[in-house]
Structure 1
Amino acid sequence: RFWYYGDRGGAHIFWGIFWSLIALAPFAVAGWWYLSYPALHDISTDPQDPPSLARAGRARSIDMNPIAPPGADEIAAQLEAYPLIVGRRYDVPHDRVLAAVEDMIKRRGWSVVSTTDLVGALSQTMVEASAHSTLWRLPADVAVRLTDEDTATFVDMRSASRYGRHDLGENAARIGDFLAELDTIMAAQTPVTPGRAPSDEDDDVPASADGTEDTPTR
């Protein structure tokens, strides 16, 4: 009987192992990400002045990660791990970039929470949205800040996990993917210039020898 049923038993064992490996694959991937990425849960293209998550901060419960400015160690860890997560300057009017951002958010299945014109020296619009992780469908909050520079628009983005001290690289990937798609959309209209966000101190930037302003970039 052993020889008669042995081939069937071997097949059952094979398929049992196969489906077990399939079931364990997400955990193996998560473990690899845990070891490969820094223990961060809040990523921004401008860690020194991240886009505000005002609505998310008020809505988060005690068991969720608080919305807070990153510390020096967190900033250093992000800059080392994700040096390409930086803002974008598009030579496209503010309203067209805003329309593209809102359309992208909707197409990705995220929910727009608010779109607010900020009060201050700079003309800025903040778009807040709720998103979710790809692997575990865990919720996250996203903010996209658009600074109107007359004929150009500077875009910064922030993504923060609601739960867990380690995002497994998800927030940086979310920002990178979003801005890469926005680059493609804007590139059809104008070149893309990576750089830093404008600030009030920019008015004091010294002029170069040819009479133009020396604008610092990241």
Structure 2
Amino acid sequence: MQMTVGRAHLSGHYIRKRLRTAVPARRAAAFAAVLLVVAIVLFRQGGIDFATLRLLAAGVFGLAVLALVTALAGLVRVWHSGREGGGAALGALTIALLVIVPFGLAGVLASQYPRTNSAETDAMMVNDMLAGVTVNEGAAAELADGGASLTGRRFQASAAQVYAVARLVIEDKGWTLVDVVTEVSEDDAEDATGDLGTSGTVGIPLPTPRATTEAPVDRFALPEAKDYALTVEARDFLLRLPSDMAIRIVEDGNETFVDLRSTSRAVTFDLGQNRRFIEDFLARLDEGMAGVTAVLPAKDG
């Protein structure tokens, strides 16, 4: 802008106003991001319980939404009136969106999966119904509505072979094998109280398998059986929330069947996590069994 007053030639420029909300919005978004990371780390380390984590997550979400709305309003004012502070507002918008993304993903999963904290293969569910065991309402409703059910596996191999591969999958996933129950008779296991078990009907000592003499006893290196019931503790990658998984490996004739059930211990709505546990386990079991030379069970007589 230029002006002439008398013989004096004056020049100047307009003073641009600055957004007062851009920097606070960016700080709020950054604080929400840091708080979310800290809350997850504290929960994984056992510093806070799940109820506290939910409260912190709600606070993070509210703060991120507030920063997002403030940043959008600031960008609109920058566009229409040319105010300064557009960079800070854009930074606030970017950080707020990054914080909100996990919550948006949770919303998508909530819309895709039934409101349940359990999943199981169809054969496991049918067996529970026949046995009079209470079946998870969400999973049962999904099956009744023709939803995608989880199908167990059938292998042309012995139950002992499938059990061995299942143990490798569990170890590879980083899950914890809590207990294994087999149908081995009490006569076969009556002397298996220490490092030595028995083999056959005459009580021949059978050393417990181990890599070296100093290696700890593998209490799940069991004699071959036709029925294995595994209890496993599975945890997700992000929050390490525990799920109790039951795996049944049953030999019938020349085939072995595998069925599973997984139930969250801490939440009432798992966002499909237990279903993904089962799907991933079965996929890895398929890969492991593909490289196994089947040893078919010997026929009686």
Equivalent in 181, 185, 209 of residue 116 of structure 1: 181
Look up the match of 1:44.
120
Match of 1:175 in 2: 278
Q: Residues of 1 paired with 2:87 and 2:244: CA distance?
A: 47
Structure number with greater CO (CA < 8 Å, separation at least 6) is: 1
What per-residue deviation string (whole Å, max 9, x for no partner) do you get for residues 151-200 of structure 1? 43110111111123221111111111110111122233479xxxxxxxxx
**Quick one: structure 1 residues 17 and 114, their matched pair in 2 at CA, closer, same or farther if it must change by over 3 Å?**
same
Partner Cα separation in structure 1 for residue 282 and residue 127 of structure 2 = 18
**Structure 1: gaps (5+ residues):** 51-67, 192-218
Q: Deviations over 1:64-93 (max 9, x none)?
A: xxxx6315664132463332x111110122
Q: Aligned residue for 1:206?
A: none
Conservation of the 8 A alpha-carbon contact between 1:82 and 1:172? no
Q: Work out the CA distance in 1 between the residues paired with 2:18 and 2:137.
A: 68
Q: How high is the TM-score relative to the length of structure 1? A: 0.68
CA distance in 2, matches of 1:71, 1:104: 26
Q: Which residue of 2 aligns with 1:133?
A: 236
Matching of residue 91 in structure 1 with residue 156 in structure 2: yes
Query: Following TM superposition, by how much is the alpha carbon of 1:43 offset from its aligned partner in structure 2, in angstroms?
Result: 1.3
Aligned ranges 1:161-172 → 2 under 5 Å: 161-172=264-275
| Alpha carbons 2:118, 2:139 under 8 Å: kept | no
SS in 2 for 1:47: helix
Assess if the C-alpha contact under 8 Å between 2:159 and 2:226 holds in 1: no
* Separation (CA, whole Å) in 2 of partners of 1:20 and 1:36: 25
- Distance in 1 (CA, whole Å) between partners of 2:84 and 2:161 is 64
Partner AA of 2:117 in structure 1: H
SS of residue matched to 2:127? coil
What RMSD in Å do the two structures reach over aligned CA positions? 3.0
Tell me the TM-score normalized by structure 2: 0.50
- Where in structure 2 are there 5+ consecutive unaligned residues? 1-14, 20-81, 186-224, 295-301
Task: Please state which structure has a larger fraction of its residues in helix.
Answer: 2
Please point out which of 26, 40, 61 is paired with 2:102: 26
Quick one: structure 1 residues 172 and 73, their matched pair in 2 at CA, closer, same or farther if it must change by over 3 Å? closer
The letter for the 2-side match of 1:49 is: N
Aligned-residue identity in percent: 30
1:35 is aligned to 2:100: no
- SS of structure 2 residue aligned to 1:164: coil
Query: Does 2:165 align with 1:100?
Result: yes
